[in-house]
């Protein structure tokens, strides 16, 4: 289930900041018919940190409804407050999501024991699969491998999106259980991480713009078809770079706007 090309879907908005439901429906349909293997709804790229709780839950429900079981929907449901993350996760559970994505709490910079307690409380409270999400460049807090290993033993915690560096992904693959999903959270590292057998899939910003090619690239990497994977990634590389010309999701939303 947590494998392949997983799009970190944007949340399209009108000029006044209201969610553009028609545009969101069109994007969902495009991904469901273009090879995308799963959709992350209201993750970082979907502006989880700035949507109101009501908007956040509404986008998740809408996404599940429009997907209609064609691909798994993973709800961005993390938060700096454990109670908030539990509330969003319960909403994702009620909506019928396949899993949640739980970002490392930001700003407060909790110690590792605090991170463990936070994620365990969510997993204990909400009976569904949960994926950890480590992105220290944004959160200023790093979920260390030894903490990930401990959390992998907690029922309902089934994997991690790692958005740091290749060395960390390789270390996690070495120390985590074989059935613990490891997803690359950096588009620029995805081809290498796939071809060396480190990751099970990619949570991609670039997939917003090129879902078919991203799906083909990830599938080739998982099949260890290295030449094909790297050839496809060479086509995607300019997009990988452009998507982070400024802070995500500014570039990808501008690009989608230009595409119409």
Global confidence as pTM: 0.97
Q: What is the pLDDT, as a whole number, of residue 50?
A: 93
Catalytic residue flag (residue 161): yes
Q: Is the pLDDT of residue 26 over 90?
A: yes
Catalytic residue flag (residue 93): no
Determine which one of 66, 116, 120, 133 is catalytic.
Answer: 133
Q: Is the pLDDT of residue 1 over 80?
A: no
Determine which one of 107, 161, 245, 253 is catalytic.
Answer: 161
Q: Is the pLDDT of residue 48 over 80?
A: yes
Q: What is the pLDDT, as a whole number, of residue 260?
A: 79
Q: Are strands 4-8 and 38-41 parallel, antiparallel or unpaired?
A: parallel
Q: What is the pLDDT, as a whole number, of residue 12?
A: 98
Could you please state the CATH topology (level 3) that the domain comprising 4-259 is classified under: TIM Barrel (3.20.20)
Average pLDDT over residues 56-84: 98
Burial of 107 (0-12, 13-18, 19+ CB in 10 A): exposed
Per-residue pLDDT band for 42 (boundaries 50, 70, 90) equals very high
What whole-number percentage of the chain has pLDDT above 70?
Answer: 100
Q: What is the pLDDT, as a whole number, of residue 245?
A: 87
Domain ranges of the chain: 4-259
DSSP conformational letter for 19: B
Burial of 147 (0-12, 13-18, 19+ CB in 10 A): buried
Which tens digits make up the pLDDT trace of 188-245? 999 999 999 999 999 999 999 999 999 999 999 999 999 999 999 999 999 999 999 8
- How far does CA 54 lie from the centroid of its chain? 21
């Amino acid at each position: 289930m947590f494998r392949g090309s997983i799009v970190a879907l944007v949340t399209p908005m009108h000029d006044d900041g209201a969610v553009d439901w028609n545009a969101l429906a069109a994007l969902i349909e495009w991904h469901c018919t273009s090879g995308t293997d799963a959709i992350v709804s209201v993750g970082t790229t979907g502006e989880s940190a700035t949507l109101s709780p009501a908007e956040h839950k509404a986008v998740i429900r809408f996404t599940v409804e429009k997907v209609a079981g064609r691909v798994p929907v993973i709800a961005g449901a993390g938060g700096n407050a454990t109670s908030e993350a539990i509330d969003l996760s319960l909403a994702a559970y009620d909506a019928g999501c396949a899993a949640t994505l739980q970002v490392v709490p930001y700003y407060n910079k909790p110690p590792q024991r605090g991170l463990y307690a936070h994620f365990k409380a969510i997993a204990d409270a909400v009976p569904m699969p949960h994926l950890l999400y480590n992105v220290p460049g944004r959160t200023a807090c790093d979920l260390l491998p030894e903490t990930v290993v401990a959390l992998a033993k907690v029922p309902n915690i089934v994997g991690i999106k790692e958005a740091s560096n290749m060395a960390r992904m390789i270390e996690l693959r070495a120390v985590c259980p074989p059935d613990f999903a490891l997803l690359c959270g950096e588009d620029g590292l995805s081809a290498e991480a796939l071809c060396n057998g480190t990751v099970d899939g990619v949570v991609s910003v670039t997939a917003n713009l090129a879902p078919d090619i991203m799906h083909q690239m990830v599938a080739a990497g998982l099949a260890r078809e290295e030449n094909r994977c790297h050839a496809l990634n060479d086509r995607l590389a300019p997009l990988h770079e452009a998507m982070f010309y400024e802070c995500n999701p500014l570039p990808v939303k501008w690009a989608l706007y230009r595409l119409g």
